[in-house]
Structure 1
Amino acid sequence: MHNSTTMNALTFQRYGKSPEIGFSKIRRPSLQPDELMVKVYAAGLNPIDNLIPSGTFKPVLHFKLPATLGSDLAGVVTAVGSQVSRFKPGDAVYASIFDLGTGAIAEYAVVPEHAAALKPANLDFVQAAAMPMVGLTSWQVLTERLQLQPEQKVFIPAGSGGIGSFAIQLAKVLGAKVATTTSSGNIDWVRSLGADEIIDYKQHDFAQILRDYDAVLATVKGDNVEKSIGILRPGGKIVSIVGPLDAGFARAKGLNVVLRWVFGLMSLGILRRARQRNIGYDFHFVRPDGRQLAAIGQLLEVEKIKPVIDKVFPFAEAKTALTYLAQGRAKGKVVISMLG
């Protein structure tokens, strides 16, 4: 066993304009009976990693400050809790630990057994770490929330981004027709992921072009979410992962009446417009789920879906990696490798 009780982690000290993101020596987390201790080999970054320190989600995500950043990891199990039955030390695993109170950009992470899955054998640790949050988000939205059927038409904007590049591939596996937006330089590349209709957003407005769509996975903040109402057939559905948050989400998270009311107000405008046209609107926050990750792993192993990595940074440059991600230009995923 390791005798050292401390480890390096990328942390933030407080919420707001100056969160003081940087490396800290922190206590290695202790293992609960239903948890795995994982030596982190790679951590995948997601846009929410930059939003959390800003305080945007402070009412709904629970961290003890200072808190370790990052949700997605791949690594090797070094120890298991007394109740763990599906994993053993030496197993290569990947997981999202989003909203479980701990972080992934660290030398070690604790992962509840229910959140972990064996790493797909054909992926290296960097590729595997890129997958959990985008994979689970796409899976939960497309299969559970939208219940996408073969031949249905789905709009997934920002097709070259981390979530878009995965969701397009999964929608094609489900047999759907996919439209997306990207810049002109990425059109052929996004087509190679499987997109059927591609709109150069600098030249054209998707709301003027797309018609009679069944579903939208909203991945771009702002009026894009509202504009997508206009492309849907009556009875169509929008699921947004960028907001506005709604009362249903507040209820599901067990939030208090005030927050339910606040989120209800935030989504009032879009809900009213959606209802006028018989469109459904839901906000979705990803949920860690090892069984779903195992199913995604099978698609990765038979190469029905391929990881899309934009850039890999060493652990020492984790903060630079977050800054790079925040610029919003990544084609696919940004990943931190602990192996140098």
Structure 2
Amino acid sequence: MKAFVLEKYGSPLRQTEMPVPSPAPHEVLVRMVASGINHADERLRVGEFKALFPVSFPKVMGGEFAGVVVKVGAAVTDFTIGETVYGYVGLSAAGTLSEFVPVDARAVARAPESLSLVEVAGLPVAALTAWQALVDMGHTAEGHTVLVHGGTGGVGSVAIQLAKHLGATVATTVSTKNIDAARELGADIVIDYTRDDLVQRLDSTPVDLVLDTQGGTTLLTSLEVLRSGGTVIGVTGPPEPMFARRIGVNPVVRLAIRAMSARVRRRARALGVTYRFLLIAPDGAAMQKVAELVDDRILRPIIDRARAFDETHEALDDVLAGGTRGKIVVTTDPKSVTARG
């Protein structure tokens, strides 16, 4: 089978031939039809996560997939051969940028029936990020106000829809060209980050929860728009001590993480708010709930374009260049390759 592998931190991905794996007793083997490309792929490639999630080389890259079950492990009872499935495998597991992917059955869900598998492949990372931030960590409910940065990106577009479904008033930041698209997704307050002052625009609308996809100065500014007791959940860092405890890193790494996030946490304390870091974990049960919301027409992924599997390098370049509207995916199905959406 063809696969894109990382041979050492910092090296470019290399396309290679590998044996088709056999699933372990708790795994299913999936024929990959499409796989989403994410900023996390680049962060893993350059070694940003190596203290938290060391990997063995060569490492098959990729984190999310949609495809068809072709084999099931001896202990798997929830899935059968021929079912269409999707999910997220995490950073350390066998990656999804390969023609066949062995996946822990607990990370797998049946694919929504109302979408093509190329569309489905744009969901796992975006939907899990939105779900784990807004539901699991943020406990978003009716009457809350949520700010989503990058509202027309892969994560932001799903987060807006989910927050609206949960009953929240939703504010978002986008570029000028994406204002109408953000409104179509359901955003109540659309802020043009190229022209508007975020704090001024939200001065009369204190925010309960911010989903920050940008980091840096955007993260620090986001602390300013929260009501007392509110929370910023960041997905680009820096990690913080609660996250370090949750994943069980060693004391040296815990100290480093504490130092990395000290400035942000200090500012948050001074404002009476909280900063949390999110690195999503595989969760097939949540993915199944997302699939139901998709088939109920409550959530829909936004796909910028689907490239051929052989164009994985170019797809990663697309993501890193920014400015996309929704997700970039690669597909092993030549008929599903699209022009930019």
TM-score interval, smaller chain: over 0.9
Q: 1:3 corresponds to which residue?
A: none
Q: Deviations over 1:7-36 (max 9, x none)?
A: 1101121112xx121201123333111000
Distance across 1 between alignment mates of 2:210 and 2:331: 33
Q: CA deviation at 1:280?
A: 1.3
1:179 aligns with 2:171: yes
Q: CA deviation at 1:311?
A: 0.8
- Say which of 153, 158, 164 aligns to 2:150: 158
Q: 2:202 corresponds to which residue?
A: 210
Distance across 2 between alignment mates of 1:147 and 1:35: 31
Q: 2:296 corresponds to which residue?
A: 302
Identity of aligned residues (%): 36
Unaligned 5+ segments in structure 1 are 1-6
State the TM-score, normalized to the length of structure 1. 0.96
Q: 1:192 corresponds to which residue?
A: 184
Q: CA deviation at 1:51?
A: 1.4
**Kept after mapping to 2: 8 A contact 1:42/1:337:** yes
Unaligned 5+ segments in structure 2 are 335-341
Summarize the Cα distance change of 1:28–1:63 in structure 2 as closer, same or farther, 3 Å threshold: farther
**Kept after mapping to 1: 8 A contact 2:28/2:102:** yes
The residue type equivalent to 1:261 in the other structure is: L
Distance across 2 between alignment mates of 1:80 and 1:324: 34
**Kept after mapping to 2: 8 A contact 1:92/1:119:** yes
**Kept after mapping to 1: 8 A contact 2:154/2:301:** no
1:38 aligns with 2:14: no
- Say which of 69, 79, 104 aligns to 2:71: 79
Q: 1:51 corresponds to which residue?
A: 43
* Count of residues paired in the alignment: 332
State the TM-score, normalized to the length of structure 2. 0.95
**Kept after mapping to 2: 8 A contact 1:62/1:101:** no
Distance across 2 between alignment mates of 1:324 and 1:122: 27
Q: CA deviation at 1:142?
A: 0.1
Q: 1:322 corresponds to which residue?
A: 316
Q: Deviations over 1:29-84 (max 9, x none)?
A: 33111000000011011111111111111111232111111111011101101110
1:291 aligns with 2:261: no
Counterparts of residues 29-178 of structure 1 (less than 5 Å): 29-178=21-170
1:251 aligns with 2:245: yes
The residue type equivalent to 2:42 in the other structure is: N
Q: CA deviation at 1:205?
A: 2.2
Distance across 2 between alignment mates of 1:100 and 1:143: 25
Q: CA deviation at 1:207?
A: 2.3
1:269 aligns with 2:266: no
- Computed over aligned residues only, the root mean square deviation of the Cα atoms, in angstroms, reads 1.0
Counterpart of 1:78 in 2: which secondary structure? strand
Distance across 2 between alignment mates of 1:106 and 1:329: 26
Q: 2:215 corresponds to which residue?
A: 221
Summarize the Cα distance change of 1:91–1:100 in structure 2 as closer, same or farther, 3 Å threshold: farther
Tell me which moved more, 75-84 or 276-285. Answer: 276-285
**Kept after mapping to 2: 8 A contact 1:166/1:307:** yes
Q: CA deviation at 1:221?
A: 1.9
Counterparts of residues 11-26 of structure 1 (less than 5 Å): 11-16=5-10, 19-26=11-18
Q: CA deviation at 1:275?
A: 1.0
**Kept after mapping to 2: 8 A contact 1:64/1:101:** no
Distance across 2 between alignment mates of 1:113 and 1:20: 30
Q: 1:337 corresponds to which residue?
A: 331
The residue type equivalent to 1:111 in the other structure is: V
Distance across 2 between alignment mates of 1:335 and 1:190: 21
Q: 2:4 corresponds to which residue?
A: 10
Counterpart of 1:31 in 2: which secondary structure? coil
Tell me which moved more, 222-231 or 96-105. Answer: 96-105
Counterpart of 1:27 in 2: which secondary structure? coil
Q: CA deviation at 1:181?
A: 0.8
Q: CA deviation at 1:208?
A: 2.6
Counterpart of 1:11 in 2: which secondary structure? strand
Distance across 2 between alignment mates of 1:100 and 1:92: 24
